[in-house]
Amino acid sequence: MPKRAYDVLVLGAGGVGSAALYQLAKRGIHAAALDRFHPPHRFGSSHGQTRIIRQAYFEHPSYVPLLQRSYELWREIEAASERSLYHEVGLIEIGPTDGIVLPGVMRAAAQFHLEIDRYSAAEAKRLFPQFVFPDDHTVVFERRAGYLKVEDCVAAFLAMAQRHGAEVIADTEVARWGHDGAGYCVSTSTGEYRAAKLIIAGGAGAKVLLRGINAPLQALRKHMHWYEIDDARLQESSGAPCFFFESSHGYFYGFPELAGGEGLKVAEHGGGETWEPSWNDNQSADPEDQRRIEAFLQRSILGVSRRPVRHETCLYTMTPDENFLLGLYPGDKRIAVAAGLSGHGFKFAAVLGEALADLVEQGSSQLPIEFLSPNRFAV
Quick check: is 185 catalytic?
no
Burial (Cβ within 10 Å: 0-12, 13-18, ≥19) of residue 278: exposed
* Catalytic-labelled residue, pool 137, 221, 222, 265: 265
Distance, CA of 369 to CA of 320 (rounded, Å): 18
Q: Three-state DSSP class for 28?
A: coil
Residues 6+ away with beta carbon under 8 Å from 91: 52, 54, 141, 142, 145, 146, 241, 242, 243, 244
* Catalytic-labelled residue, pool 26, 36, 50, 319: 50
Distance, CA of 23 to CA of 365 (rounded, Å): 13
CB-CB contact of 148 with 70 (8 Å): no
Quick check: is 163 catalytic?
no
Q: Three-state DSSP class for 359?
A: helix
Nearest to 142 by CA among 109, 191, 181: 109
Quick check: is 4 catalytic?
no
Quick check: is 197 catalytic?
no
* Catalytic-labelled residue, pool 47, 54, 221, 344: 47
* Catalytic-labelled residue, pool 26, 36, 51, 87: 51
Sign, CA torsion 358/153/224/120: positive
Burial (Cβ within 10 Å: 0-12, 13-18, ≥19) of residue 303: middle
CB-CB contact of 5 with 184 (8 Å): no
Quick check: is 249 catalytic?
no
* Catalytic-labelled residue, pool 314, 317, 319, 344: 314
Quick check: is 50 catalytic?
yes
Quick check: is 265 catalytic?
yes
* Catalytic-labelled residue, pool 269, 311, 334, 376: 269
Q: Which residues are catalytic?
A: 47, 50-51, 265, 269, 314, 347
